A and B are shown apart, each in its own frame.
Chain A
Amino acid sequence: MSTLERAAGRFAAGQLERLRSFERRYGEERARKRLWTALYAALFTVALIGSIVVSDFNLPGLMSGLPKAWAYIVGTLPRLSFETFGADMANWYWGLQYWLRLLVETVLMGFVGTVLGGSVALLLCFSASRNLVERTWIYIAARRSLEFCRTVPELVFALIFVFAFGLGPFAGVLAIAVHTVGSLGKLFAEVNENVDPRPIEGVRAAGGNWPMLMRLAVVPQALPNYASYFLLRLEINVRGASALGIVGAGGIGQELYVAIRQFEYTDISAIMLLLIATVSIIDITCESIRHRLIGQDLKQGF
């Protein structure tokens, strides 16, 4: 204020008034912003303290835990010497054939689960798009059921399905499929909500019924995005399939679980490296296909 008072002589009366009110409002805004920041900071501190208390986290624990974890990871690596490299590798990967079989199973589980789930999601996504259904209750019912499939964790479905369908990869495939219905259905519905409404009007004007509308006006526009999301989900599901074996739903997870539980150190690193390699290959393949799809889409768009 003091600078304003000093400069008062240089302003006409009305201008000073306006400046003052501006400065007052500016101060209010700043105070409000500070209050919000303080509120967030307080919330953050409470959450931090609360979570430190409930998760019995402590610095000494961290300090002793991290070296232990590091020692564990280093301990899983085998001794490889240059002279006997071939024999050492053969020793390390003694179960390669068996593991490769399980890896193939893991990838297949991810693939079949994604295709099954994706097909159901494709059927459901139209009724979960705001702009495509007229009756609100259909929309709400579709949205809620997708939400349910998405929120219950995959592993919980796997636990339940192992009970119902028996041990083995079939339960895993179903668990992946159900979860995929939820997540892909939501993404597909969002794609549908962003389509250009003009083709829809065109097909409706030409006398198309609802399924025709979806097939001829919505799907052609949304297809590249569907494919891209599908491939993204495939990556995620292959990664997820590797964990399902822990509850007995097939794939390499079972073997990894046994290796970790029985402290067969070198097996752990061997399987983990195989897993990382497989997932990376699938990631890179899917990513390049996705980029090509999106690139094509852009080229067609312009």
Chain B
Amino acid sequence: MTAITHGELARLKRNNPDLFQRPLPVRLRNWGLWASFLGVMAFGLWWVDANPMRVIEGLNKLGLLVRLMIPPHPGDGFWEYSYAMLETLGMAFLGTLIAAVVAVPLGFLGAKNVMPNWLFHFTLRRFYDGFRGIDGLVWALIFVSAVGLGPFAGVLAIAVGDVMIFAKLFAEAIENVDRKPVEGVRASGGSTVHAMRLGVLPQVFPVMVSHVLYFFESNVRSATILGIVGAGGIGLQLSDRIRINNWQEAAFIILMILVTVAVIDNLSRRIRMKIINADTGPK
């Protein structure tokens, strides 16, 4: 080992500049990427009309709102809100369940190892992906105009919004199964149905349940806002309170949402951990 002095380093850098920096095209590309990133960002800020004055004014108003919110107070609507919260949970539960049940056959259809035709597989997957592009709230709007106001529209919105995502996740889970148990079932004389039931299902079921629970959590969050467009649940109460400027009650409802979501998250995380641990065995 020989020590290198700063002088030597400077000389090496001077003599071999190419070794000490990235090639010109790479540098140009990086500069270009950063410049376009900043350009788009500046254009975006200009488009949404962001300026310091607006921020300061808005923050003042926001401070006023927060002062109006304190202390959060349920008024005389506590039981009404609790019922609406239950309705929200019910919507999320039922919507997730329907989506999961419908998605199981779709998942088998979309799996490469069940349906080996690539054109079919590709088209179906793109179809599943396309449906994801629509936000749950837009589905809720559509179902409210199709089947009327109320939680039923919310259930359908959650179910339809999630079916395709579930189908995709299930298909991926099915594609990742180990071939050996399936071959074992076949070798001992099982039919295709037997192979699915005894070889594939035990492997994918824990994965599916864990996905479903995870989506239940996220659907509880999204179900809290579906009411804003009239699809039942706590969102209706919240948007009403905000519209009539009753900020204390609005703050109370937001707190209720926070607590409920935390409780549901915790419960569902525990069940998920249990399922995953049972699946892979204790460590």
Contact = CB atoms under 8 A, between A and B. Distances in A.
B228 to A, nearest CB: 6
A217 interface: no
A112 B62 contact: no
A48 B146 contact: no
Interface in A16-53: 47-48, 50-53
CB-CB nearest 3 A-B residue pairs = A51-B90, A279-B133, A165-B58
Given A111-B40, A263-B145, 4 more contacts: A51-B94, A152-B257, A247-B228, A250-B48
Contact of A115 (B41, B145, B238, B239): B41
Interface in B220-262: 221-222, 224-225, 228-229, 232, 235, 238-239, 242, 254, 257-258, 261-262
Contacts of B49: 168-170
B238 A256 contact: no
B134 A151 contact: no
B25 to A, nearest CB: 17
B78 interface: no
Q: What class of interface size applies to chain A in its complex with B? A: 35 or more
Contacts of B136: 243
B133 A51 contact: no
Contacts of B65: 160, 163-164
Nearest to B55: A165
A240 interface: yes
A159 interface: yes
Interface of B: 40-41, 43-45, 47-50, 54, 57-59, 61-62, 65, 83, 86-87, 89-91, 93-94, 97, 126, 129-138, 141-143, 145-147, 150-152, 154-156, 221-222, 224-225, 228-229, 232, 235, 238-239, 242, 254, 257-258, 261-262
B83 to A, nearest CB: 8
> Chain A: interface secondary structure?
helix
8 contacts: A51-B90, A54-B83, A68-B146, A68-B147, A108-B48, A151-B221, A164-B61, A164-B65
B255 to A, nearest CB: 10
A151 B86 contact: no
A239 interface: yes
B28 to A, nearest CB: 19
A170 B228 contact: no
A54 B151 contact: yes
A260 B86 contact: no
A164 B60 CA distance: 8
Interface in A45-81: 47-48, 50-57, 61, 65-66, 68-69, 72-73
A156 B238 contact: yes
